[in-house]
Amino acid sequence: MLGLASAVQAGNLVTNGDFTSYSGPTITAGEKGQLSDHVPTGWSISNTVQYSALDTPGSATSSQGGYAVYGPFADPAAPYTGNFIQMDGDSRYGKALSQTIDNLTVGHQYTVTFQQAAGQQTGFNGDTTELWAVSFGSDTKDSDMYSLASHGVGAWESQSMTFTATSVSEVLSFLAIGTPDGVPPTVFLADVNLADTTLSSVPEPSSVVTLLIGVAGVAGSVLRRRFKAA
């Protein structure tokens, strides 16, 4: 049986980390919609610039509802089956996708995991770089950076970052960063999870009981040897 610590740690503190729930008109499979018109439930967007999208599987190279990137472009790694975010990393158009996380424990460590990918808008040329600037409260960390050749595609890869809560409520945000401006370096985001990893270091109740029994057994053995020696 799982102890309380493991059960709590297993829960995802992020709401709608697969972006399957959103406002606005329904997006059909293989299509995408402007992110400002299809805001994922539980998330907010810092501005209304149009160079970003909510993508359904198979839609990264489609211009239906947003701009296309060069392909071939695979969907996020299985078993993930949700939607994903597409954002322009141009410094003039970047926006932050954020969510307020409540009921945190000050001093605990929280680990954010997600999948990222990268590409370049079709019709443009030139080498690019792409990454996510991930913030948790006042702390910001950069994801691994892609360095793509012109028309290149950055495959999906897993990312993990650990932050320490300084408040019972922190804002988790993702900001697309890319270079150079004007050749749309694009970053993709999927499968966002947040867990209290401090809890993983707390022994489960059953483990504590087992440990105490073991200690008692060792102590008893030592006492018996002493009586025999006497």
How many whole angstroms separate alpha carbon 76 and alpha carbon 84? 8
The C-alpha atoms of residue 104 and residue 92 are separated, in whole angstroms, by: 34
Tell me what pLDDT residue 65 has: 86
Write down the pLDDT at residue 46: 80
Burial label for 200, CB within 10 Å (0-12, 13-18, 19+), is middle
Give the DSSP H or E segment for 116.
Answer: strand 109-120
pTM reported for the whole predicted model: 0.83
With H, G, I as helix, E, B as strand and everything else as coil, classify residue 57. coil
Q: Which residues of the chain have pLDDT under 50?
A: 1-9, 202, 204, 206-213, 215-216, 218-220, 222-224, 226-227
- Report pLDDT for 7: 34
Q: Could you tell me the CA-to-CA distances from 7 to 10, 200, 203, 204 in Å, in that order? A: 5, 10, 12, 10
The correct CATH number of 4-197 out of 3.30.300.90, 1.10.760.10, 1.10.1370.30, 2.60.120.260 is 2.60.120.260
Domain ranges of the chain: 4-197, 201-230
